[in-house]
A and B are shown apart, each in its own frame.
Chain A
Amino acid sequence: MFERSDQTLVKQALKGKKSAWICLVKRYEKPLYNYALRMVSHPEDAMDLMQDVFVAVFRNLASFRGESPFKGWLFKIAHYRCIEFYRRKKPMQSLDDAPVPEQEDEQACPAQFMADGQQSKEVHQALQQLSLNQKVVVELKFFQHATFEEIANQLGISTNTAKSRLYSALDKLKNYLELDYV
């Protein structure tokens, strides 16, 4: 079946065609929701974040010039919204600080844990120990398969900073995952 490109859907949505916008939302809601879920670790917060991102994307749709892929632009907005979400939730905490350990919510994402098993739960818990900046780099590198240059462009940092954040995140994850590599 013929699938309209993101660019075409954006143009049609800008002209007020609701079906084009809904099509665009359906195309990216799943990766965006999962991204939000990994970042905020709670289904309801992830849902709020996803809706917030789509609202922001729609409001700024006219400023999308199509020079870069729509998906990258969408996740860039998602990243900024995620930072805002963190700052609202923890205004006194730096984005480079490791989060304060909280009571683990076993019901945070039970369906996902049941589907993926024990390994998923461990990875999820380990990711929660990372600071937001580290978590974002891990997300982009491993879940979205971005290159260091793409990560640097999306986050507005240098590639060396991106690498440094990823390596420190891997070091921290290693301690929590207790991998037997020797």
Chain B
Amino acid sequence: MSERKDTDLAKQFAKWLENRTRAEAQPTSEQTFNGDSQWQARHETANYLAHHVELHQQAQVPHWDREATFMADKRAWWQWQGLPVMSLAFSCMAMALVLFKVEVLVQDNGITLSFADAQKRQQQITQLVDQRLQTFASEQQVILANYAADIKVQQQESNLELASYIMGASRQERKEDMTDFIQYINAQRADEQYEQNMKFKQLERAINYQQANLNTGIQNIGMQSQPAAWTTEEE
């Protein structure tokens, strides 16, 4: 019973306060809350406060720089109001990219945007790797074949050069040997000729000597019958 009465009084007090706010005609506290000291006290306090507010003179605002608040709009870029929205938008876009497995492939001739799953992507990668490996293998085979051909040609050239060198060198040696032999023969012949010359000179001197001796004998014979105009060398 008491609780119900209290609730009713609370409702009445709230209604009274709201009506007071709307400046409607007010009953006195005695009329409204007769017999209940708590609500009557609240009523009186509220009236006292309301009376104070009516008499209250608002304080004057001291002089202050009002324009300073307007300059406060020079905010740093990270305080830009659109930044959270932009952040949310980018987050949503990132989530969409992940959920739809969007792949961006940048190539020389353009950009490819694809919505592919990981397995297909893996297959593509495997296929691409195989293709690249095959291309690489064929390239290597061609390079190896070319290298072998070059080596073969180089080997042939080297063999030819070696044979030519050997032939040339042997020919030169034979020529030198023959030259030495001819020089030797010539030297022999010169020696023999000189010896022959010496012998011929000895023979000549012997002949001359014999001739001189012969002439001397004839003279000796002639002294015995010397001509009238004959003179000797000692004279």
Please give the residue numbers on chain A whose beta carbons come within 8 Å of chain B beta carbons, in ascending order. 13, 18, 21-22, 25-26, 29-31, 33-34, 37, 43, 47, 50-51, 54-55, 58-59, 62-63, 109, 111-112, 115-116, 119-120, 123, 138, 141-143, 145-148, 163, 166-167, 170-171, 173-174, 177, 179, 181-182
- A57 vs B173: C-alpha distance when bound (angstroms): 114
| Chain A contact surface mostly | helix
**Residue interface mask B1-36, A partner, CB < 8 A = 1:** 000000000100110011001000000010000000
A residues near B60, Cβ cutoff 8 Å = 30
Chain A residue at smallest Cβ distance from B56: A116
Among B10, B21, B60, B69: residue with most chain A CB under 10 A = B69
A residues near B66, Cβ cutoff 8 Å = 22, 25-26, 29, 54
B78 interfacial by beta-carbon distance below 8 Å: no
3 closest A-B pairs by CB: A181-B44, A54-B69, A33-B61
Are A163 and B69 neighbours in the complex by a CB distance under 8 Å? no
B residues near A31, Cβ cutoff 8 Å = 58
Cβ 8 A contact of B41, one of A22, A30, A58, A171:
A171
Cβ 8 A contact of A18, one of B55, B70, B81:
B70
Are B70 and A43 neighbours in the complex by a CB distance under 8 Å? no
Are A167 and B53 neighbours in the complex by a CB distance under 8 Å? no
Are B72 and A33 neighbours in the complex by a CB distance under 8 Å? no
Are B67 and A18 neighbours in the complex by a CB distance under 8 Å? yes
B48 interfacial by beta-carbon distance below 8 Å: yes
B235 interfacial by beta-carbon distance below 8 Å: no
Are A58 and B70 neighbours in the complex by a CB distance under 8 Å? yes
B residues near A47, Cβ cutoff 8 Å = 62, 64
CB of B68 to closest CB in A, whole Å: 7
A residues near B40, Cβ cutoff 8 Å = 181
Cβ 8 A contact of A120, one of B14, B50, B56, B64:
B56
Are B21 and A30 neighbours in the complex by a CB distance under 8 Å? no
- A37 vs B59: C-alpha distance when bound (angstroms): 9
Are A179 and B41 neighbours in the complex by a CB distance under 8 Å? yes
Chain B residue at smallest Cβ distance from A171: B42
Are B45 and A170 neighbours in the complex by a CB distance under 8 Å? yes
- A182 vs B75: C-alpha distance when bound (angstroms): 59
Are A51 and B68 neighbours in the complex by a CB distance under 8 Å? yes
Please list 13 pairs of residues, one from A and one from B, whose beta carbons are closer than 8 Å in the complex, sorted by A's number.
Answer: A29-B61, A33-B59, A34-B59, A55-B69, A58-B69, A62-B81, A142-B49, A167-B42, A174-B41, A174-B44, A174-B45, A179-B41, A181-B40
B residues near A62, Cβ cutoff 8 Å = 81
Are B59 and A109 neighbours in the complex by a CB distance under 8 Å? yes
Are A147 and B18 neighbours in the complex by a CB distance under 8 Å? yes
B residues near A55, Cβ cutoff 8 Å = 69, 72
